[in-house]
Amino acid sequence: DGGITQSPKYLFRKEGQNVTLSCEQNLNHDAMYWYRQDPGQGLRLIYYSQIVNDFQKGDIAEGYSVSREKKESFPLTVTSAQKNPTAFYLCASSIAGHGHDQPQHFGDGTRLSIL
Amino acid sequence: AQSVTQPDIHITVSEGASLELRCNYSYGATPYLFWYVQSPGQGLQLLLKYFSGDTLVQGIKGFEAEFKRSQSSFNLRKPSVHWSDAAEYFCAVGGRYGGATNKLIFGTGTLLAVQP
């Protein structure tokens, strides 16, 4: 079945450490997204990519980095510069286009906590 | 700027009762509207979407939503709630962001509890 796989499901980070969250999709979607979810704040966009080798900052990109070397993969690195990384991180993908009518499909998320 | 408001943070209904979750949006043009559901520790699942045409849209799991342009609303309804419907529900509007992309702007969610 096609879908989005995020790993790991739970991740712990030590102070000053960078960690990378994996996101893989086999839906043949061009566009991929990373969101951060905090209680009571809904989802906030961190980074998005419409095509391989291209990505754009979202609303809260500071302290995060991404790469898009393959269509299927969009890993997110939470750097030591992100002072409050504890959150639930969701990856999504969609058919890219010039409209905003394409629904996004979500993975099951990674919960990141500070040790 | 585009925005989505879900006025109810938490709602409790009895099993078998009807449900309406409210969503108001702010968008300058014809909006593309979505409802998603999230079970604890899971990702978001699309319930339904509105692009154009009939203002009453049907979704999965027996949900429906009605688009009312005059009220800038897109409320989600279900005639009879089941215990398995307990989850968090997010309304979202599709918007333009720095060019041609499919940015979704999410509301802050409504947490639904179902009493037996």
Could you read off the pLDDT of A58-109 as tens digits, one per residue? 989 999 999 999 999 999 999 998 989 999 999 999 987 655 667 889 999 9
Question: How, if at all, do strands A105-106 and A43-51 pair?
Answer: unpaired
Q: Is A83 on the interface with B (CB under 8 A)?
A: no
Strand partners, A56: A48
Q: Which two tokens stand for residue A75?
A: 């890993």
H-assigned helices in A1-115: none
**Residue B10 vs residue B100, higher pLDDT:** B10
Question: Are B41 and A108 an interchain contact pair (Cβ–Cβ within 8 Å)?
Answer: yes
**Hey, how many other C-beta atoms are within 10 angstroms of the C-beta on A105?**
20
B72-111 pLDDT tens trace: 999 999 999 999 999 999 999 986 655 545 678 899 999 9
A45 interface with B at CB cutoff 8 Å: yes
Q: Which pLDDT does position A98 carry in this prediction?
A: 54
pLDDT digits (tens, 9 = 90+) for A1-13: 679 999 999 999 8
* The residue type at A40: G
- Give A27 to chain B, closest Cα distance, Å: 15
φ, ψ for residue B73, nearest 5 deg: -125, 155
* Contact in structure between A107 and A4 (CB atoms under 8 Å): yes
